Amino acid sequence: MAGNTFGELFRVTTWGESHGPGIGVVIDGCPPGLALDEAGVQKMLDRRKPGGGSIASTARKEADRAVILSGVFEGKTTGTPILIMAHNRDARSSAYTDIAGLFRPGHGDITYTAKYGIRDWRGGGRASARETFGRVAAGAVAAELLRLSGISVAAYTLELGGIRATTIDVGQVDQNMFGCPDSTVMAAMTDRVTQVKRRGDSVGGIVEVRADGVPAGLGEPVFDKLDADIAKALMSIGAVKGVEIGAGFEASGMTGSRSNDEITPQGFATNNAGGILAGISNGDRIVARAAVKPIPSIGITQQTVDTNGKPASISIKGRHDISAIPRINVVCEAMVCLVLADHLLRQKAISWTR
């Protein structure tokens, strides 16, 4: 129960540090017979690749070439654990030596040291965004399982640096460097990011995830509600500070007559519930949002302490993104896939008696 495992039936354990020899994931509980190969996994992984042209992303080139070491035979899953890993390359831990004695504001250095009594100064260790390799690789397998049941999941940039999409056209998402479904806000986002980058600062934003085709009935009362598990899944991503389902925080200001989704023979009239009622999917589209904080590694000088508690100042020079968005989007998508795959199997376990 050391926290590196997610899911009950579709069960994922990630391992590896940002500057160790490799990173990866074990997936246990994937049913047999799914088509799976490295190319398919790689395709989803490539969406978290840095330097993909986005001005918001770092120039660090990570190969992250996924290899499958177990659980697949003749192109199909066998029902046994699936190990997917990548060897770490281009991981210059020397880049970190000049800040090895300092705690970086907004980072986990100080809390990892408090927790474990150990100071691993090489670029974040488990708290690094590189840990998400395992999440996305597993998410690719989960997505394949969901496809069998007609479920599809998509994530996109709803807001970046305070600029918010006003329309959602999922077809636009792959057409721009911000992963944004609204082409009309491109200019404003670009301006905003360019400005901030010039100052050596960073920005946050909001990622929206939607799942279509989810049948009614997924989610387990009372603690393992579908929305509770999505909340945990998204909040477990390093940069996320808030999670909403459906109308979310806006619902707190509504009246019941407005927030309730009326029911018609054709389905729900509105979707303030975000597809989840009492923790169980209602057959409508599932909609979740994650609030992403700005990248804490900034060039601007900040006050901090060294590992002896003495005051110091710090300015991070390395290759860092301006925003976790849009690279984080596929991680959010992967996490929602993991939750849905898990609950799909859980529902299969109990629904055969009727």
State yes or no: residue 56 binds a second copy (CB under 8 A): no
Contact (Cβ atoms closer than 8 angstroms) between residue 124 and residue 108: yes
- Helix/strand/coil for 135: helix
| Cβ closest to a second copy, residue 86 vs residue 153 | 86
In three-state form (DSSP H/G/I as H, E/B as E, the rest C), the secondary structure along 154-186 is EEEEEEECCEECCCCCHHHHHHCCCCCCCHHHH
Interface mask toward a second copy for 242-271; x: CB under 8 A: xxxxxxxx-xxxxxxxxxxxxxxx---x--
Structure tokens belonging to residue 348: 């299969």
Eight-state DSSP code of residue 329: H
| Cβ closest to a second copy, residue 78 vs residue 183 | 78
State yes or no: residue 274 binds a second copy (CB under 8 A): yes
State yes or no: residue 65 binds a second copy (CB under 8 A): no
Angle separating helix axes 38-46 and 132-148, nearest 10 degrees? 120
Closest CA to 231 of 217, 214, 244: 244
φ/ψ (deg, to 5) at 220: -115, 115
State yes or no: residue 95 binds a second copy (CB under 8 A): no
State yes or no: residue 21 binds a second copy (CB under 8 A): yes
Q: Is 61 annotated as a binding residue?
A: no
| Cβ closest to a second copy, residue 66 vs residue 292 | 292
Q: How far is the CB of 276 from a second copy (least distance, A)?
A: 8
Q: Stretches 23-31, 49-57, 165-173, 177-185: which one binds a second copy (CB under 8 A)?
A: 23-31
| Cβ closest to a second copy, residue 32 vs residue 175 | 32
Half-sphere exposure at residue 122, Cβ-oriented, CA atoms within 13 angstroms? 15
State yes or no: residue 159 binds a second copy (CB under 8 A): yes
| Cβ closest to a second copy, residue 112 vs residue 173 | 112
Whether the link from the prior residue into 196 is cis, omega within 30° of 0, is no
Q: Stretches 43-51, 125-133, 168-176, 178-186: which one binds a second copy (CB under 8 A)?
A: 125-133
- For residues 192 and 172, give the distance between their C-alpha atoms in angstroms, rounded to a whole number: 20
Q: How far is the CB of 320 from a second copy (least distance, A)?
A: 10
- CB contact set of 190 (below 8 Å; sequence gap of 6+): 55
Q: Is 39 annotated as a binding residue?
A: no
- For residues 248 and 259, give the distance between their C-alpha atoms in angstroms, rounded to a whole number: 10
State yes or no: residue 347 binds a second copy (CB under 8 A): yes
Interface mask toward a second copy for 200-239; x: CB under 8 A: -xxxxxx--------xxxxxxxxxxx-xxxxxxxxxx-x-
Among residues 42, 80, 183, 271, the one that binds a second copy under rule CB under 8 A: 80
Number of residues that bind a second copy (CB under 8 A): 154
Q: Stretches 11-19, 53-61, 168-176, 182-190: which one binds a second copy (CB under 8 A)?
A: 11-19
State yes or no: residue 157 binds a second copy (CB under 8 A): no
The torsion region of residue 58 among left (phi > 0), alpha (psi -120 to 50) and beta comes to beta
Whether the link from the prior residue into 222 is cis, omega within 30° of 0, is yes
Contact (Cβ atoms closer than 8 angstroms) between residue 24 and residue 85: yes
Residues tagged in the binding site annotation for FMN: 126-128, 278, 293-297, 319
